[in-house]
Amino acid sequence: MKKLINDPEAVVREALEGLEAAHGDRLRVVYDPYVIVRADAPVQGKVGIISGGGSGHEPMHGGFVGPGMLDAACPGEVFTSPTPDQMLEATKAVDGGAGVLHIVKNYTGDVLNFEMAADLAKGEGMEVEAVITNDDVAVQDSLYTAGRRGVGITVIAEKICGAAADEGKSLAEVAEVCRTVNGQGRSMGMALTPCVTPGSGEPSFELGEDEMEIGIGIHGEPGRFREPIGSAAQVVDRLATAIVEDLPFESGDKVLAFVNGMGGTPLIELYIVYRELNRLLQERGITIERRLIGDYITSLEMAGCSITLLKLDDELTRLWDAPADTPALRVG
């Protein structure tokens, strides 16, 4: 296993210690249970926003804690849901009296545990709403998921909801913005290689030397099909066509285009993917108004990419452009 780690059992804790050592000016880390909290939380009168999920997808979610985005994040062990006590702790830490939004990726464990945490928080008198993201068009059900998986749109939702909360919107309004983003967003990913989890030391799945998996999940869950490795143009055609035809995105639409690296793909390749995506969307009369290119929701060192499209309107564009200042994403 070729990894820059010490103890496979201590990966999450030690990475959190590194995150805190690096960014202690703007976030603090609670270690029992693990929660990454914005340094100045709770912000009085602002809706608090938290998310969480298994580790191994960095910078999501901990790298998005900061002004304009998340108030707290709950990291589980690698590819493992965080626990309700983490989510309850996070909810308490960010409740500034205006309620707390839980942004939850659609994985069975995450959903159940966030539900339990919301019930506990409500029992303690806090106001909580949850929005589940399920933007992955690849498969209807999957390992660990009933319904579609929540993937790239989650990053976008965290940014846009952070801006909505900063504007003073109510919990119901911020939750509605989150539902809109999820409803107008679609994603799909692919892998050239599996990844190796530190705990197992083994590849998350097997893939032939000349094969790629289209529709991969961020934990290596099976996608739609395998085929021989194609060109970047073919890969983008597979992903973007499925995305565009699902919503559907139509001629005249303006979109935010998010080309995401899975962790082991060089940036030079992501820009080639972006070139192909730009071309395909132009051919369909769809205009990229905003874009995000880089590694934001990863699967350890997996080579591959995902594409997320969000249909923009003036409000979503304005909220996307609003300032955010987090370790992994800065806007404005």
Q: How far apart are CA 332 and CA 325, in angstroms?
A: 8
> Which residue in the list 23, 57, 61, 102 is annotated as catalytic?
57
Any catalytic annotation for residue 23? no
Cα angle 202, 206, 210; round to 5? 130
Q: Is there binding between residue 192 and its own copies (CB under 8 A)?
A: yes
Strand partners of residue 101: 49, 129
Q: Which is nearer to its own copies, 124 or 325 (CB)?
A: 325
- The secondary structure of 144-201 as a DSSP string is TBSSSPP-THHHHHHHHHHHHHHTT--HHHHHHHHHHHHHTEEEEEEESS--B-TTT-
Q: Is there binding between residue 4 and its own copies (CB under 8 A)?
A: yes
Token pair of 101, please?
Answer: 């939004």
Contacts of 37 (CB under 8 A, 6+ apart): 27, 28, 29, 30, 65, 71, 72, 90, 93, 94
Among 115, 254, 301, 318, binds its own copies (CB under 8 A): 301
Q: Is there binding between residue 228 and its own copies (CB under 8 A)?
A: no
Q: Which is nearer to its own copies, 119 or 325 (CB)?
A: 325
Cis amide bond preceding 33, omega within 30: yes
- For residue 302, how many C-alpha atoms fall within 13 Å in the half-sphere facing its CB? 35
> Which residue in the list 23, 61, 102, 219 is annotated as catalytic?
219
Q: Is there binding between residue 30 and its own copies (CB under 8 A)?
A: no
Q: Do residues 295 and 263 touch, judged by C-beta distance below 8 A?
A: yes
Contacts of 58 (CB under 8 A, 6+ apart): 15, 298
Any catalytic annotation for residue 57? yes
Q: Which is nearer to its own copies, 114 or 274 (CB)?
A: 274
Q: Is there binding between residue 295 and its own copies (CB under 8 A)?
A: yes
Q: Is there binding between residue 278 and its own copies (CB under 8 A)?
A: yes
Stretch of residues binding its own copies (CB under 8 A), selected from 39-47, 87-95, 168-176, 229-237 = 229-237
Q: Is there binding between residue 274 and its own copies (CB under 8 A)?
A: yes
Q: Is there binding between residue 26 and its own copies (CB under 8 A)?
A: no
Binding site for its own copies (CB under 8 A): 2-7, 11-12, 14-19, 21-22, 55-56, 58-59, 63, 192-193, 209, 212, 229, 231-233, 235, 263-276, 278, 288, 291, 293, 295, 298, 300-301, 303-305, 328, 330
The residues annotated as belonging to the active site are 57, 219
